[in-house]
């Protein structure tokens, strides 16, 4: 049985990453249970959006062969893409709340593979706050987009600065969400303010952890995508010789819908894991700055001595 991994210990850069993966070893089953148990509605919404998206693409393909008005098909594609993008954003925020609640309860109860109902009870109490986070993120990402454009005009150093800003922004937002869910007395703006201070107390540790874990999670995503990608590519190669055959091949269309939907689901799970890493990073930076856990251990030793 995998032991409890104390997230509040003071760890160096490598220690935070090691603790994150040790946590996953002991809690992957519980995380998958939470993810599948409470994301069913998003799985369905992804499937519907992708269905209409592929339908629109098929319509455009057939109209380009037979002739006709493509406007309706292009409108269907545009609406489907907007809907899919919107559902992905909603699902991301929802899963950030779920994963934050999971790690928060893990630290409190000190057991692996938590009851998903307990996780849901904690997460659902913060869903309105997650909506406020979304509104704040619109402003934050708008400012970031302007900054990225400016940095784009600076050769080499601009690219490096852009990467640092992106990783720092991701860390700030993710840790702020965890701070909001974990601390009962925090509102959204309290969480942003607290994490802003924590981030700059260990800035390069936060950047490095997000960079390394981000690469590893992307490699995991690539590995999970190999089989459906090969299946789809092989099927398309064997059965399609012309656009007309693509429009007439119902099996291939269904396969594309399922594979694209699966990609969306995998992306959501990868984001959930990324949020967990930032939750561990929050505990680490908080303890490094405030020494709360260390002081409690010293006081406990003094009491028992």
Query: Could you tell me the two tokens for 87?
Result: 């559902």
Q: Is residue 215 part of a domain?
A: yes
Domain extent at residue 126: 28-304
Burial 23-42 (b: 16+ CB within 10 A, else e): beebbeebbebbbeebbeeb
Q: Is residue 2 part of a domain?
A: no
Q: What is the DSSP string of 81-121?
A: HHHHHHHHHHHHHHHHHHHHHHHHHHHHH--SS--HHHHHH
DSSP-based three-state secondary structure for 113: coil
Specify the pLDDT at position 132. 92
Q: Is residue 1 part of a domain?
A: no
Beta carbons of 279 and 178 less than 8 angstroms apart: yes
Query: Could you tell me the two tokens for 239?
Result: 């059965």
pLDDT by 10-residue block (mean), the chain, 305 residues: 86 90 93 94 95 88 73 88 94 95 94 93 92 92 93 87 92 95 91 93 90 90 85 76 67 87 92 94 91 78 61
Q: Is residue 36 part of a domain?
A: yes
Q: Which residues contact 144 (CB under 8 A, 6 or more apart)?
A: 165, 166, 169
What's the rounded Cα separation, in Å, for the pair 19 and 106? 13
Total domains in the chain come to: 1
Q: Is residue 202 part of a domain?
A: yes
Query: Could you tell me the two tokens for 11?
Result: 């760890």
Beta carbons of 199 and 172 less than 8 angstroms apart: yes
Q: Is residue 183 part of a domain?
A: yes
Q: Is residue 50 part of a domain?
A: yes
Q: Is residue 21 part of a domain?
A: no
Query: Could you tell me the two tokens for 10?
Result: 């003071």
Specify the pLDDT at position 172. 95
Query: Could you tell me the two tokens for 191?
Result: 């969480």
Specify the pLDDT at position 223. 86
What's the rounded Cα separation, in Å, for the pair 187 and 179? 9
């Amino acid at each position: 049985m995998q032991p409890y991994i104390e997230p509040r210990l003071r760890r160096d850069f490598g220690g935070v990453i090691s603790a994150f993966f040790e946590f996953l070893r002991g809690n992957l089953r519980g995380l998958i249970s939470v993810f599948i148990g409470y994301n069913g509605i998003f799985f369905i919404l992804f499937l519907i959006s992708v269905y209409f998206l592929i339908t629109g693409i098929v319509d455009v393909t057939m109209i380009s062969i037979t002739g006709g008005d493509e406007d309706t098909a292009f409108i269907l594609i545009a609406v489907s893409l907007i809907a899919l993008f919107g559902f992905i954003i909603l699902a991301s925020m929802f899963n950030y709340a779920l994963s934050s609640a999971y790690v928060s309860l893990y630290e409190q109860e000190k057991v692996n593979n938590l009851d998903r109902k307990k996780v849901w009870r904690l997460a659902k109490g913060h869903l309105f706050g997650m909506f406020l986070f979304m509104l704040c993120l619109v402003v934050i990402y708008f400012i970031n987009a302007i900054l990225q454009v400016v940095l784009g005009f600076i050769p080499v150093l601009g690219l490096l600065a852009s990467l640092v800003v992106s990783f720092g922004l991701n860390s700030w937002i993710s840790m702020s969400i965890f701070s909001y869910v974990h601390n009962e007395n925090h509102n959204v703006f309290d969480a942003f303010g607290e994490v802003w201070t924590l981030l700059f107390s260990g800035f390069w540790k936060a950047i490095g952890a997000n960079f390394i874990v981000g690469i590893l999670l992307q490699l995991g995503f690539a590995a999970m995508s190999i089989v459906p990608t090969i299946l789809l590519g092989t099927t398309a190669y064997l059965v399609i010789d012309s656009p007309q055959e693509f429009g007439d091949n119902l099996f291939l269309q269904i396969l594309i819908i399922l594979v694209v939907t699966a990609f969306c689901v995998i992306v959501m799970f990868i984001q959930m894991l990324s949020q967990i890493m930032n939750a561990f990073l929050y505990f680490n930076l908080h303890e490094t700055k405030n020494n709360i856990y260390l002081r409690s251990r010293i006081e406990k030793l003094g009491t028992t001595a």
